[in-house]
Structure 1
Amino acid sequence: MAKEHGYLISSGKTSNDIPLFSLEGERTNKAVLNFSRKLMLALYYKHASAIFPKEGGIVTIWYSNLQVANGSIPDEVNHFLNQDPILIRNAKNLNEQFNYKYLFSECRQNAVFLVGFRQSFYILSHLKTDRSRFDKLICERVMSPYEWTEVI
């Protein structure tokens, strides 16, 4: 894993000496996707002032800080997400801990959120109020908004 991400291992050291760990396991992925689903429903409600419909769908991709540093999030995403709220609690700006950008379509039937957590990982999600409107190629990745027990 170290070599594929451009880390050089100096003489006398092994990959165990580099502070990296893999997040590729199915259990980790399911946990992040379930957390993401709940967070996206909350953010949708906050900005749409409406409950996300049960017919809707959510597609999520998440990125580690290493993937972000290597440019895995397309630059276009940052350019078209035009809403960048400032989060304040008890007069303290929270954007270093949690920040996000988002965009709603004019018809309010589509939303995209990019959420960062203290530069440790990022979540990119696309929400559609009608899950049948997702491209057929990604249908197996569409999460239902309220079926917490579904297999992801």
Structure 2
Amino acid sequence: MDATTPPAPDHPPTLRLDDQLCFALYAASLAMNKAYRKTLAPLGLTYPQYLVMMVLWEQDSRNVSEIGERLSLDSATLTPLLKRMEAAGLVQRTRAVTDERQVVVTLSAAGKDLKRQAEGIPATMLCATGCTPARLVALKGELDTLRQNLSQAV
């Protein structure tokens, strides 16, 4: 069976909302964002800002296109987000010396300090899921595979 041949379902697909994987993913995503909103509020971060911070905490001084690629965000979405983060004092944006068309994003001192405050977030979110670490690793692997399959299908 190749990627274009769907597996035989246990029961025929229906138009019932509760039978739709897309809705289950959508609803889970909404619930996850709500939980993160509550968890991130004390840090003054939105969920998309938190994602940018994680990318920069992994490796500081990245250009906008690298951040966008890592987060699957286009520059039209990312640029206003980065401007707000710069205004909040979390990052600095500068033109690359080698190519002035590129904008490099670097953590400010406040952005670096925020990492210490954020270190408990993964454990908090693990508790919120009600899953074991092993179950979350397995689930993440399944979702990564699903995302790759869907990306290849379009």
Q: Please give the TM-score of this superposition, normalised by the length of structure 1.
A: 0.27
Q: Say which structure, 1 or 2, has more relative contact order (CA 8 Å, 6+ apart).
A: 1
The structure whose residues are more often helix, as a share, is 2
Q: Which has the higher strand share?
A: 1
Calculate the TM-score normalised by the size of structure 2.
Answer: 0.26
